[in-house]
Structure 1
Amino acid sequence: MADYKFEGWMGIDENADKGNMVWQEFQPKAWEETDIDIKITHSGICGSDLHTLRSGWGPTPYPCCVGHEIVGIAVRVGSKVTKDIKVGDRVGVGAQSDSCLGRKGSCENCAAKLENYCPHFVGTYGMHHFNGDKSYGGHALYNRSPSHFVFKIPDAVPSAYAAPMLCAGITTYSPLKHYGAGPGKTVGIIGLGGLGHFGVLWAKALGADRVVAISRKADKRATALDLGADEYISTDADADWAQKHAGTIDIIISTISSSKMPIGDYLSLLKLDGTLVQVGNPDDGVFQVPALPLILRRVTMGGSAIGSPAEIVEMLQLAADKKVTPLVEERPMKDANQAMVDMDNGKARYRYVLVNEQHL
């Protein structure tokens, strides 16, 4: 038996996102020999945490421990783990902790190594594993996850950087890679927040000819350029921005989580056969998409869900090779409630990472 307890910040009801999480013990999924236990050192705060804590995307199975950008030290490795992971290794877990891979009747997506599109997707928190046990996230002392969704962190990537890469990072990396962001392409990133600033970093690391950061406020211009953007559009401050930049971008990644964003204007920025990929999921209503911008340039609007395990490994190696440096602010795990409130109030610049200081 393990000599450690699983304790963490638990959302008890729909007011949990307002600084009302409670620290308490929880029972992780029953141990299987394909599992890995992680002593958590770093846990990034994602917008998904807030949506889930307040049941913004549907009823949350309270109590719920959120956090799916987890980095720490492997303290227990099952005898059937086939990965090159041993006790003492630095590892991480992202937003997915299980799929039907390897189970009787596995789906086509898992067979194609697209486990993130498995119809039996199990999220790292707030869902149920195949044995019926609830999944619990990383704003805690320990995490238990199936080894297929646990990743070794390259030595060159600091833990505070690696944690947010496992959700915010992969959520933007995956569509950029899939839609061919790289040499010869102009890439637009809408929203310069936790996800969006990663989008700028990846687009540059992948070799895009030109990267355009797009956000409402003018005060993020300097940061966008420092991150590597070649141009910045402030939709509040730049007059006639949609007309001036119409038909100039090949691929747009939208990280906005508001149903009120001007989708028509964003679609008008695309070149012929361009693509807008939506990765932000609003809980304030549904999008209203005008047909004309889609028709005029034969553009495509789609979506993308996190990334596959293979893509996560690829992304982490790119981060190591290109020395990708996200903008993170470390906060003590004990201050998680205040960090959540600050995140919700838009104070993060651009990702909060909770730190278990006693585990360092």
Structure 2
Amino acid sequence: MLIVNLAPLDQSPRTLNIVKKQLEKNKTIELLAYRPSTFIEIPCKVRYIRYFESKNIFMKFFKLIYCNIMVAFYVLTSKERNVMFVCPPIFIFFGFMSAFMVKDTVLIDWHRFNNKVTLFESFLIKMAEINSCVTEEMTTFVSRLGNAVCMPDKPIMFYERLDKTKEITKLSEKYISFKLFLENFNILKHLESMPIFLCSTSYSIEEKNDYLLEYLIKLDTRVRTPFIFIFTTKKIVDFPNLKNIFITSQFFDYNDYINLLRCADLGVNMHDIWMDYPMKCIDYISCKLPFIGANELENIERIINRDQYSIKQHETTETFQIPSEIMKWK
């Protein structure tokens, strides 16, 4: 199978999971994607398309033509008879039509939608032989337009909460930059009374991290309780030194990241959500961590300014509700 995913592979965990599952079935896999910004181990043959960004309208037009031609070329020259397009943008139109004409099976993996389905997406759904979806709600919706199956990201697992001081101390011993951050602000001595908020992010274009940072800067003068805000990301970011909000970025190994969620107090999701649930949200739910979305940031001030801060006092009616279909995952 040829899998076409126009995204950096280090930001595509679902695609890599699909590759792993297909390899376990002794299938041959080829990948066509953007080159990852950091080294990751990829267990199959990979071809890369050059990724570039520009606000110049002529460069955007060039990118549209370039990606269409390159995807079509790789689809036509690949020996694989089945092709899967992952959350396809308009850049793959020529490639999709080429695959539809010469390949045996054309599949699409819809791991996320925007706030509505475009005419282009509707056309692709109707043309594809199989449309795989990440939730049952999305599957029901897509099945009105074409053949749809549900393929969840992963089963949900619930973890017990961890002691904050012990876990943060362990992480500080393993990650030097994180330890320096804690020492610079003398945080370890005040961990029990200092809430930890975090945002798991790849710093993709779809995420509104600049908006979140602007909000935190404005919030700094209004909060009564100092707190820590951690961006868990591979991207190195410089943050301003604030009076009451201590901001840092740190990339953790997955198990350490999960343990951080298990002792944190609030998560933030800056992705738009519509019939799909980013992996970070599933991790938040698994770790019993309350979390809010981009349109609920004002709740941070309400939560942090309570007289007695406690995770048990979070009002879940204003945070992300666990969809019923997630609870059915096995």
- For Structure 1 versus Structure 2, the TM-score category normalised by the shorter chain is 0.3 to 0.5
Q: TM-score, normalised by structure 2?
A: 0.33
Q: Which has the larger radius of gyration?
A: 2
Q: TM-score, normalised by structure 1?
A: 0.30
Greater RCO between the two (CA within 8 Å, min separation 6)? Answer: 1
The structure with the largest strand share of the pair is 1
The structure with the largest helix share of the pair is 2
